[in-house]
Amino acid sequence: MARVTVYSTPTCPWCIRVKQFLAENNISFENYDVGSDQAKAEEMIRKSGQMGVPVIDIDGTIIVGFDKEKIKTALGLKNA
C-alpha cells in the first residue's frame, strides 16, 4: 500500500476533489492543513518547490494540483 500524504487548505476546491478522489478509490492518506500547520507548510514548499495547494506525496512522488492521471499512475490504479 502506497504511503500517501495530502497537503491542503480547507477552502480550496481542488483539495476537496483530491481527497474525494482518494476516498472513492479506497486509498488511505494523511491530510495536513498547511493553512494552520506552519511546519507542514514548510515541508510542502520544500518538497514541491512551490506554494500552490494541493500537493500530493505518493511514496516520494510529488504531484502538484489535482492531476488525476498522474495520481492514478503513481498509485498504480487502472483507468476507470
Binding residues (CB under 8 A) for other proteins: these are 9-16, 33-36, 38, 41, 45, 49-53, 64, 68
Q: How far is the CB of 65 from other proteins (least distance, A)?
A: 9
Q: What nine digits make up the cell of 55?
A: 500537493
Phi, psi of 50 (to 5 degrees): -155, 175
Q: How far is the CB of 67 from other proteins (least distance, A)?
A: 9
- Nearer CB in complex with other proteins: 28/36: 36
Q: What nine digits make up the cell of 23?
A: 476516498
Q: How far is the CB of 20 from other proteins (least distance, A)?
A: 9
Beta strands in 26-72 (DSSP E): 30-33, 55-58, 61-64
